[in-house]
Structure 1
Amino acid sequence: MELRIFTEPQQGASYDDQLRVAKAAEDLGYDAFFRSDHFLKMGSASGLPGPTDAWVTLGGLARETQRIRLGTLVTAATFRHPSVLAISVAQVDQMSGGRVEFGLGSGWYDAEHTAYGIPMPEIKERFDIYSEQLAVLTGLWETPEGETFTFSGEHYQLAEAPALPKPAQRPRPPVIIGGAGKKRTPALAARYADEFNLPFTDADTALAQFRRVEAAAAELGRDPKEIVRSVAQVVAIGRDEAEFTRRAAAIGREPAEVRQNGIAGTTAEAVDKIGTWVEKTGITRLYLQVLDLSDLDHLELIAAEVARQLG
């Protein structure tokens, strides 16, 4: 089981805050440091000192870490032109020595689009854009050096693009796709995904979607086992009930609620919950949504008392 740290910096975190967490995660043996790609806080958080750009941040972390893998869960297709995004991601992959993993979604948070004047089409058009972006991004990365890439879609047209720079990983960084859509999402995952992720859902719902992805992959003649199964869950763990309750309060969650909907409770409960996820769904990768970035002891506890028991 790979444990990955997943952060939500739009809730209030500077670059230095994220750097401390990424370095701690690397030192403690976590597999990856991921962050969301948002420009506006959610809920009652202050959001101070303000948002940080996901790919600028990851470029910095690429130079200040050595081993840990880096990525987004997930970049929104509404934010950036895919050609520009392909260059940014390829450059960060080069800067990291080939440690980038690329999550892409269609975009969903209306309020941040309104706040910053970013167009937010209706869901069908947004999904069409998302689909074309996957084709453009992977096409640019996979085009051999010395050749060009041309694409003619409804939303994007590229003519003999040199498709440079190339990422360090060949033919491209791993692509992560997720979501609960029952038709188009599994079809896109079957075509493009190296990993399929279900965030903040229950095991039965996740398993049903994994099976849809598996069927779509088989229909394309692809081995479904090539696609990693993963989930994301909020985390709040304590050595005892008092410590768990304090950590739940620190992220604004009721103990009973977060216990039901996340990896939460005592360390023994967390190990049991993860074991149940593995048994029910076959996941091999778990993203732990860490919402209190000041609590590095939390990361140390999970590494020492939970990860150790998972093997």
Structure 2
Amino acid sequence: MDLRIFTEPQQGASYDTLLAVAKATEDLGFDAFFRSDHYLVMGDGDGFPGPTDAWITLAGLARETSRIKLGTLMTAGTFRLPGVLAIQVAQVDQMSGGRVEFGLGAGWYEAEHTAYGIPFPKEKFGRLEEQLAVVTGLWGTPAGETFTYDGQFYQLKDSPALPKPAQSRIPVLIGGMGARRTPELAARYADEFNVPFASVADTGTQFTRVREAAGAAGRDPGDLVYSNALVAVVGRDDAEVARRAAAIGREADELKENGLAGSPAEVVDKIGRYAEQGASRFYLQILDLHDLDHLELISSQVQAQLG
């Protein structure tokens, strides 16, 4: 069972804060450090000191960590042209010695596009599909050959398809709750399918859709990793859970219902219920990035029980 730390820096975090969390992630034995790809705070707060770019952050962390995987849930397909994105991710993979995993989504938060002058196209899913084709096509083109793509949204001609990642194949993550197109896209491109912030029952339904889509595409459904992203708030007792919930503006009872919250025993039990649906990897959304004792508790009393 893989436990990964997942951060939301747009809510307010400097690179130094993210570095401290990433180093704790590595030192405490977690599998990976992931971050969101957003440029504007969501909900209450001013987001101070301001946004950090996902791939610039991961490039820095690539040189300051040595073991953990590094990636995004999810890179916004609206932010970067796919050819440029392929170069960026391949370079970070080289810088990390082959530790990058690549989550790509369509992009959805219109307000951040407006705030920073980023176009927000109406047709995003079709663009996402072409972006996956371009990025993976560039990485997969044999050295010395060129890549050409003639799509509705993107056209590339005689690209040298360089640089190459350190890995022979960077793992691709696709996620979401779409009933048809998302599972079909995962069946074609994904190494991992992620269900974000969903109940056990809804997770099971979506995993089933992805397995069925993989089978229909002639692919073994067992080839994919199935994962969940869930907010995590763990405490040694109810008072500590309530304190950590309040620190992120949430209620403990609501988090127990909708996330991974409570005592270590309660969280291990909840993880087990998701595992019964096929989940083998969990992205623990940590919203208070200054509470490193929280990560130590999860490592010593949750992760240790999962083996």
Q: Give the TM-score range, shorter chain.
A: over 0.9
| 1:154-199 CA-partner distances (Å, limit 9, x unpaired) | 11000010000000010x2100000111111111100000000001
**Aligned partners of 2:183, 2:237: CA distance in 1, in Å?**
40
8 Å CA contact retained: 2:175, 2:193: yes
**Aligned partners of 1:180, 1:18: CA distance in 2, in Å?**
28
Q: Give the Å deviation of 1:220.
A: 1.2
Q: Give the Å deviation of 1:110.
A: 1.1
**Which residue is 2:217 aligned to?**
220
Q: Give the Å deviation of 1:219.
A: 1.1
**Aligned partners of 1:57, 1:262: CA distance in 2, in Å?**
27
**Which residue is 1:160 aligned to?**
158
Q: Give the Å deviation of 1:255.
A: 1.1
Q: Which aligned segments of 4 or more residues in structure 1 are displaced greater than 2 angstroms?
A: none
**Which residue is 2:179 aligned to?**
182
Find out whether 1:81 has 2:81 as its counterpart.
yes
In the alignment of these two chains, the number of paired residues is 307
Q: Which amino acid aligns with 1:252?
A: G
**Which residue is 1:135 aligned to?**
133
Find out whether 1:277 has 2:256 as its counterpart.
no
| 1:118-147 CA-partner distances (Å, limit 9, x unpaired) | 11122xx11110000000000000001001
- Tell me the secondary structure at the aligned position of residue 230 of structure 1: strand
**Which residue is 1:19 aligned to?**
19
Q: Give the Å deviation of 1:46.
A: 2.4
Q: Give the Å deviation of 1:90.
A: 0.0
**Aligned partners of 1:186, 1:193: CA distance in 2, in Å?**
9
Instruction: Give unmatched runs, 5+ long, in structure 1.
Output: none
**Aligned partners of 2:139, 2:60: CA distance in 1, in Å?**
22
**Aligned partners of 2:4, 2:163: CA distance in 1, in Å?**
28
| TM-score of the two chains, using structure 1 as the length reference | 0.98
- Tell me the secondary structure at the aligned position of residue 187 of structure 2: helix
Q: Which amino acid aligns with 1:78?
A: T
Q: Which amino acid aligns with 1:120?
A: F
Q: Which amino acid aligns with 1:212?
A: R
**Aligned partners of 1:273, 1:220: CA distance in 2, in Å?**
32
Q: Which amino acid aligns with 1:291?
A: L
**Which residue is 2:297 aligned to?**
301
| 1:188-216 CA-partner distances (Å, limit 9, x unpaired) | 10000000000101111111111111111
| 1:266-299 CA-partner distances (Å, limit 9, x unpaired) | 11111111111112x1110000000000000000
**Which residue is 1:239 aligned to?**
236
Q: Which amino acid aligns with 2:193?
A: F
**Aligned partners of 1:255, 1:24: CA distance in 2, in Å?**
25
**Aligned partners of 2:216, 2:196: CA distance in 1, in Å?**
25
**Aligned partners of 1:308, 1:46: CA distance in 2, in Å?**
37
8 Å CA contact retained: 2:207, 2:278: no
Find out whether 1:262 has 2:262 as its counterpart.
no
**Which residue is 1:290 aligned to?**
286
- Over aligned residue pairs, what C-alpha RMSD do you find? 0.6
8 Å CA contact retained: 2:69, 2:100: yes
**Aligned partners of 2:115, 2:172: CA distance in 1, in Å?**
29
- Tell me the secondary structure at the aligned position of residue 130 of structure 1: helix
8 Å CA contact retained: 2:203, 2:274: no
- Tell me the secondary structure at the aligned position of residue 5 of structure 2: strand
**Aligned partners of 2:284, 2:211: CA distance in 1, in Å?**
24
Identity rate, percent:
68
| TM-score of the two chains, using structure 2 as the length reference | 0.99
**Aligned partners of 2:99, 2:19: CA distance in 1, in Å?**
16
